[in-house]
Amino acid sequence: MSTKDDIREFLIARRANITPEQAGLPAGVTERRVPGLRREEVARLAGVSLDYYTKLERGSSKLRTASDSVLDAIARALHLDDVERDHLYVLARGTSAPRPPQPAQDGLRASMQRVLDSMTVPALAYNTCQDVIATNLVGRAMFTQLFDSDRPNLARFIFLDSRAREFFADWPLACSLTAAMLRFQAGRDPLNSDLTALIGELSTRSPQFRLDWAAQDVHEHRTGSKTYRHPEVGDLHVTYDVLEMPGEHGLSITTYSAEEGSPTEGKFKLLASWAATHPAPDAMSEPADSTSR
């Protein structure tokens, strides 16, 4: 992946999403060759010269020395949200001081696995490549199809497993958000060879991924609502929350909860009973030895 190309394509895509009216500019009467704002309009809104902004958009060396105030002005001009603004900073500063690659995590330390096992709601632990490295029993039961693989991976399941179209009630949204999350992580860690390989694999094997990746969207999963169509218990309407793990680079835990007294809460109990009679393979049930990390 080329950082210079990423910067150019990201800024062009964001320009195309903002109309003159949204930016507080007169629409004008001349025909526009491209949708959204022109470069000169972004430059004017950000308070920089057209020549300077053009060089920034093309990923020139000036981007490395752009001040916080300039980057913030561009973010305001393009109406970037918090995640998009963070992505712009990463692209700009990563060209001069990229983060060193980090080894992939193969499991949780024993104490964190105990935390997962103590939860009464489904929970998954995964890394930046969306490899699921640990789960509790009800989480495994909820995502039972995902664990047909020796190394379960959420992104591969969504884009490459035909069952995902039925499992996710809004499969197109799941696809677009997953591609946007991978782009966000790639911007934060451009030298992550495992992440680069995953993006390359999905680009080769999935037309849907190529379409979503080309949208240049970035997204950071935090909290929200989703509906899953479980093959055994039916629809699960859940709220998900992503928990960061301080001291564990690139690892997150996502929990899935339901309203008290709701049908989904009852189905979670069914899944827990089902999971108790279907033991997990050793590869997913044994936590990593904390002394080896």
18 and 83 together in one domain: yes
Same domain, 155 and 280: yes
The span from the CA of 45 to the CA of 20, in Å, is 11
Give the number of domains in the chain. 2
For the residues of 102-168, what is the DSSP string, one character each? -PPP---BHHHHHHHHH-SS-EEEE-TT-BEEEE-HHHHHHTTTGGGSSS-BHHHHHHH-TTHHHHB
pLDDT(285) > 70 = no
The reported pLDDT for the residue numbered 105 is 56
Give the tens place of pLDDT for each residue, 185-231: 998 888 889 999 999 999 999 999 999 999 999 998 889 999 999 99
Domain residues for the domain of 41 are: 3-94
One domain for residues 84 and 118: no
Q: What CATH code is carried by the domain that includes residue 25? A: 1.10.260.40
Q: Are residues 20 and 78 in the same domain?
A: yes
Per-residue pLDDT, averaged over 138-148, amounts to: 94
